[in-house]
Amino acid sequence: DTAVSQTPKYLVTQMGNDKSIKCEQNLGHDTMYWYKQDSKKFLKIMFSYNNKELIINETVPNRFSPKSPDKAHLNLHINSLELGDSAVYFCASSLAGRTDTQYFGPGTRLTVL
């Protein structure tokens, strides 16, 4: 029944490692997003994918790479993790042109040691 799901829920890793966070939506939406929420609760959009094409990239370091194998999935891969990458990462989805109604996943808390 879960509309937008993310795995894992918690991720603890060492600096320099490479990790991925998976996101899946079963709403039939064609636009998906990744947001980063830092310790001060700032929520910043990182990527937006529409029909498997990147349409927004908010000057995110190229260590972050979104990968969308199909319309229902948008995974986030992070290379060479840094301490400052520690945050909660949220996936979301919407219909194209309806970015005002986004459905969010539960978040993945990433801790880099």
Which of 1, 14, 40, 62 touches another protein by CB under 8 A? 40
Place of tokens 């029909």: 51
Distance, in Å, from the CA atom of 70 to the CA atom of 109, rounded to the nearest integer, reads 24
Select the span of 13-21, 65-73, 75-83, 98-106 touching another protein (CB under 8 A). Answer: 98-106
The number of beta carbons lying within 10 Å of the beta carbon of residue 110 is 21
As measured in angstroms, the least distance from the Cβ of 49 to another protein is: 14
**Quick one: which of 55, 56, 50, 46 has its CA closest to 95?**
50
Burial class (CB in 10 A: 0-12, 13-18, 19+), 48: buried
Say whether residue 23 binds another protein (CB under 8 A): no
Give the per-residue contact string, 57-96, with another protein (x = CB under 8 A; - = no).
Answer: ---------------------------------x-x----
Binding site for another protein (CB under 8 A): 4, 40-45, 48, 56, 90, 92, 99-102, 104-107
